Structure 1
Amino acid sequence: MPVEIATGGGLGSNVSFITDVAPVAYMDCCEPSGLCVCGEGCGCGDECGCGDTCGCGGGKGKNKKPNPCAASHKGVFYANDFSYLEKDRSSQCLGDCMKQMPMGHGTVDIGGQLRLRYHHEEGMGRQAGASGFQGTKNDFMLTRLRLYLNYKANDWLRFYVEGISAEALANDAYIPRPIDRNSGDFLNLFFDAGLTESTTFRIGRQELLYGAQRAISPLDWGNTRRTFEGVNVIYKGDDWDVDGFYTHYVPVSPFDLDEADYKQAFYGVYATYKSGKTAIYDLFYIGYDNTNSYTGAAPAINAANAGTADFSLHTFGGRIFSDKGDWLFELEGAYQTGRQSGLGLDHRAGMCTCGVGRKLGDAWSPVLWAYYDYASGNDEADGVYNRYNQLFPLAHKYLGFIDAVARSNVSAPNCLLTMKPTDKL
């Protein structure tokens, strides 16, 4: 059970306990008695036949085979990879019996996820008359159920649908966040049609995830996740992957079916070059047009809601990630231009992130990173709007667990230490 703890320097605190039902080893090779088919003894609480520690040729020690299903689930479930079942269905994990099932001339995958997350928050508002960092205490449980069906008719045609039900069980005073609740809706509902062996045309509702998720992310931290509606042309080559998409943002309606906001167009091209196993290079252009009007008069240039409506933005950027031996390096930057029509100003802004990491040893695989994050803020004197618009990111991963700031008006050195105590944690 991962535990996330964040403190806000006296302003607030957030403690989250997360339980995620993920793929686990499945006792498919065991008889009802609990004995492995191959004759080795193990209880049904052990792992049998997945190349792990018990039975069916799993082996022990450093030479044991990795469990293929451990890497089968991706950041978006429509990208899940169960191809290992095409070679060997004898080594299965929980739910693998519902993957790669024959249907006509094609195959069907059925699966899902149940996630429970408990929050105890102090000083973070979310009560009547206390929207900011004030003396409040809230206890609540976030629940999320996702179910999906993937039908691959052949190598050229595919249908994918994924639903979500997200709820917040809280004390009476807590005011749920917009990303807490969605009482039954579609995250993904699209068709894929192959244009060539390496190019696919996708149409429908679809989550988007690119690069390090600093600009485009389904926001898995949110209980509801984020999705779009539109078209996407996807090219996957030996060295280059290129997506060109034109979509509209789908805001969450907690108690009604979500509908795309056709006043929020989100489009662009995202290209990735893979240089062997040591480096990744991303190049991207992202356009975002929001023609919704401000409620009432236009806000002051430095008001909290300035730059949130009636704009057209164009973001050009790139990213480098390098892994050489024990050293890691990451650099991402973007320049943003356009027009803040609601404010009557041109828009010019930018962001940059640079990090150097070091692998510290084998035990627990610790990695220490030193980062610097910059994103421009506004200067009232120059007559141009300079606050960087972070678009649709996974800000929670990079800018603090209490989500007090966005990627704008930021100049922040920071450190990151990651560890992996076991293969499953």
Structure 2
Amino acid sequence: MTRLFFLFFLCICCCAAAQQSMTLGRQQKDTLTLGDSAPDGYKSLKRIQIGKDGHAGFGGSCRFQYLLLDNENWNPASRDPDGYLLSRWLFHTELQFGNRFRLFAELQSALAGSRIAPVPVEENALEAHQLFMEFQPLESIPLTIRLGRQEVSFGSQRLISLRDAPNSRRSFDGVEGIYAREKFRASMFYLHAVLDKLGIFDDRSSPELKVWGLFLDRTTFGSLPNLNFYYLGFYNRHALFYDGPGMEKRHTLAARVFSKDSRWNYDLEGGYQFGSIGRRGISAWSIAFSTTYSFSDMKYAPELGCKADIISGDGNPYDRNQQTLNTMFGPGAYFGMAAPIAPSNLMDVHPGVKLHLTGKITFSFDYAFLWRYSKKDGLYRPNMVPFFESNNATSSYIGSQISGAITYQATPDVLLLLGGSWFNSGDYLSDMGMGKDILLGFAGAQVRL
């Protein structure tokens, strides 16, 4: 009873802060300035001069998340009475020689203490997370070639993300070409996904799971919107959907317009997917919109916002057309850790508010409502595996989730989190025999080194 009261308290006062994170990839050159709040002696160790125009850089981060979770996946049989502790350590080093050649390496250790039957995205004892070389072939052209194991994320990270929230971050093996000027960035890439495993240095890239494409990012001037355009090719040798398995060859065309750093911000993204799964043709689409308005002249500078998605699902499991959107390498906790489902075959609305209680403390709250887009299709896990063995429910309403967050940015490199959420199951989950409400309590800390 005490534990349930503690969970309920967390749900009311704060939560689902798992997605509040310092997620910038440390392989980016501009992260060398991180750690400015540290003593000068420590900063001198982070960057050591080598010769006239070379240097060695060092750094890392650690994150701890303690979670109390009731009715995980809406299933009362998956109770964990004592909770569990997720920890993640990242350590990196780089060697820079002039402006045209760089080596970067990063180790990752993700552990799940007291977790019953952890999965690899929660526990990956020790792995070579990144190991690549980077060179600029022509001094007069801002083109960089990156070859090796690397983190990759693009745009809003709905389709290719760092997967920061669960615990173990994602990486790829392959090559990326980056052309970057002040207001424009283009990236062309061919990558194999690295498969997470529980052991030590046993992660391997998969020839059966890969992605390639082109991403364009244009920062505009004044009140004009910023623009993203991208093409993604995706191959999965062993895809599985509710209408059956098959070899998946999928192509995505998408565009995004968004604003930032103003009183009124918005983000609109739409995409279309085509290709084949076995003998079935693909025709899927999605539209995502979010907006916030900041009352910066009021007490606590409240920000009101709303998010909404319409994401296609399959209309007939027995025909030769497949309309289920594949999120491919999505964030892993798109709707928070309490409801680990992929943004596929969904309609949702998320109103919310954020308050700046002090210069370092923020409180946020949102209320999400979720429906299935197509009654002929079911829910999918973040790795795009069907959530249930079959789909025999007639209801569309999945449920609602109340979330909030209290974050304390103690220093530029230290972030403290406290949270919880409550997912109120709807008719669809009850029809599937998984109608228990989920309660999640959460506390965490993140430190950049």
Band of TM-score, shorter chain: 0.7 to 0.9
Q: Is 1:97 the equivalent of 2:24?
A: no
CA change 1:264–1:322 in 2 (3 A) is same
Q: CA RMSD for the aligned pairs?
A: 3.0
Counterparts in 2 of 1:146-185, with a 5 A limit?
A: 146-170=90-114, 174-185=116-127
Q: Does the residue aligned with 1:77 lie in a helix, a strand or coil? A: coil
Counterparts in 2 of 1:111-126, with a 5 A limit?
A: 111-124=59-72
In 2: Cα distance, 1:391 partner to 1:176 partner: 22
Within the candidate set 279, 286, 290, 1:351 is matched to 286
Q: Does the residue aligned with 2:204 lie in a helix, a strand or coil? A: coil
| 1:333-377, Cα deviation, whole Å (9 max, x unpaired) | 110001001xx2111101111122201225544322112101101
CA change 1:242–1:92 in 2 (3 A) is farther
| 1:127-176, Cα deviation, whole Å (9 max, x unpaired) | xxxxx6224432110111110001111100000000011111116xx221
Q: Does the residue aligned with 1:112 lie in a helix, a strand or coil? A: strand
Q: Is 1:133 the equivalent of 2:82?
A: no
| 1:190-223, Cα deviation, whole Å (9 max, x unpaired) | 0001023411001000000111111111111121
- Contact kept in structure 1, 2:105 and 2:132, CA below 8 Å: yes
Aligned to 2:228: 282
In 1: Cα distance, 2:351 partner to 2:253 partner: 27
Q: Is 1:389 the equivalent of 2:319?
A: no
CA change 1:332–1:293 in 2 (3 A) is closer
In 1: Cα distance, 2:248 partner to 2:290 partner: 32
Range moving further from structure 2, 413-422 or 176-185: 413-422
Aligned to 1:241: 185
Aligned to 2:421: none
Q: Is 1:265 the equivalent of 2:210?
A: yes
Amino acid at match of 1:115: R
- Contact kept in structure 2, 1:6 and 1:401, CA below 8 Å: no
CA change 1:122–1:258 in 2 (3 A) is same
Percent sequence identity over aligned pairs: 23
Q: Does the residue aligned with 2:205 lie in a helix, a strand or coil? A: coil
Q: Flag structure 2 segments of 5+ consecutive residues without an equivalent.
A: 1-5, 361-407, 410-449
Instruction: Give the C-alpha shift of residue 263 in structure 1.
Output: 1.3
Q: Is 1:78 the equivalent of 2:27?
A: yes
**Bigger strand share:** 2
Instruction: Give the C-alpha shift of residue 238 in structure 1.
Output: 2.6
- Contact kept in structure 2, 1:373 and 1:412, CA below 8 Å: yes
In 2: Cα distance, 1:202 partner to 1:116 partner: 31
- Contact kept in structure 1, 2:119 and 2:198, CA below 8 Å: no
Within the candidate set 330, 335, 354, 2:272 is matched to 335
In 2: Cα distance, 1:375 partner to 1:83 partner: 38
Q: Is 1:191 the equivalent of 2:127?
A: no
CA change 1:16–1:379 in 2 (3 A) is closer
Larger RCO, structures 1/2 (Cα 8 Å, 6+ apart): 2
- Contact kept in structure 1, 2:166 and 2:332, CA below 8 Å: no
- Contact kept in structure 2, 1:110 and 1:148, CA below 8 Å: yes
Q: Scaled by the length of structure 2, what TM-score is found?
A: 0.69
Amino acid at match of 2:125: S
In 2: Cα distance, 1:272 partner to 1:365 partner: 30
- Contact kept in structure 2, 1:165 and 1:185, CA below 8 Å: yes
In 2: Cα distance, 1:93 partner to 1:276 partner: 37
Q: Flag structure 1 segments of 5+ consecutive residues without an equivalent.
A: 23-72, 126-131
- Contact kept in structure 1, 2:281 and 2:322, CA below 8 Å: yes
Q: Scaled by the length of structure 1, what TM-score is found?
A: 0.73
In 2: Cα distance, 1:415 partner to 1:90 partner: 35
Q: Is 1:312 the equivalent of 2:249?
A: yes
| 1:3-46, Cα deviation, whole Å (9 max, x unpaired) | xx999xx9xxx97787x9x9xxxxxxxxxxxxxxxxxxxxxxxx
